[in-house]
Amino acid sequence: MKRVSGILKVLLIFPLLLMLSSNVLANSNSLEKINIIEDAYQYFTDEEIEFIKEEIEKLPENYKFIILSSITGDIKEISKALFNNRNFSQDTILILILKDDRKIYITTGDVLEKKGLDQEFFNREIESYFLPKVDEGNVAYALVNLARGISNDIPKQLVKEKNSPKIPTPPKNTESSNSKNTFFGYSNQFLWTSGIIILVLILWFFSVKGFKIKK
């Protein structure tokens, strides 16, 4: 009987562990939202950083801004290295700003890049939304305007890529695939049924053993 109660305790504890893990993930996501800007060189004032954070948090996409003074090497390779070293999620849009070099570069994860958010797309966004505002002298607002423009244009870009002509794929062998699906379907059903029967037998065995009268 004690073993049965132990099993029941494990079954009750398991949902609690799932809830705790979900809370940890939620906290990590909220922290990720807070750390939007890395500005070690204090390019922006505290008020400008607060303004950027408040406006970016209103957007559905996950943006990150890294400000450096200058770099030696290819900006594309360095931005990708920063993206990977920071362990950013694949849906992150990283905007790299080189203060002394007066350059800006945008990169994202491979998943979004393959869906059409490539360098050609980001270059158009920079020319449309960032450069005109920079000429007005407000870089912080130019960044916010850039992010807003990207968020506004992403759905249209993804639809455009989805509707673009694709190379036709050869027809699949439906007969063999159906037979495989049927086989695996029966196998999974058999495994589930066997598992349930074994679990019931184990619980029954321990319950009978626990209630056995000692002489």
Give the phi and the psi of residue 187 in degrees, each rounded to 5: -65, -45
* Domains of the chain, residue spans: 36-163
What is the DSSP-derived secondary structure letter of residue 25?
Answer: H
Confidence of residue 23 (pLDDT cuts 50, 70, 90): very low
Coil, helix or strand at residue 42: coil
pLDDT at 125: 98
Tokens of 167: 């190379």
Question: Mean pLDDT throughout 98-127?
Answer: 94
Tokens of 107: 């990169």
- Checking if the pLDDT of 76 tops 90, the result is yes
**What CATH code would you report for 36-163?**
3.10.310.50
Evaluate whether 147 touches 128 at the Cβ level (below 8 Å). Answer: no
- Checking if the pLDDT of 127 tops 50, the result is yes
- Checking if the pLDDT of 120 tops 70, the result is yes
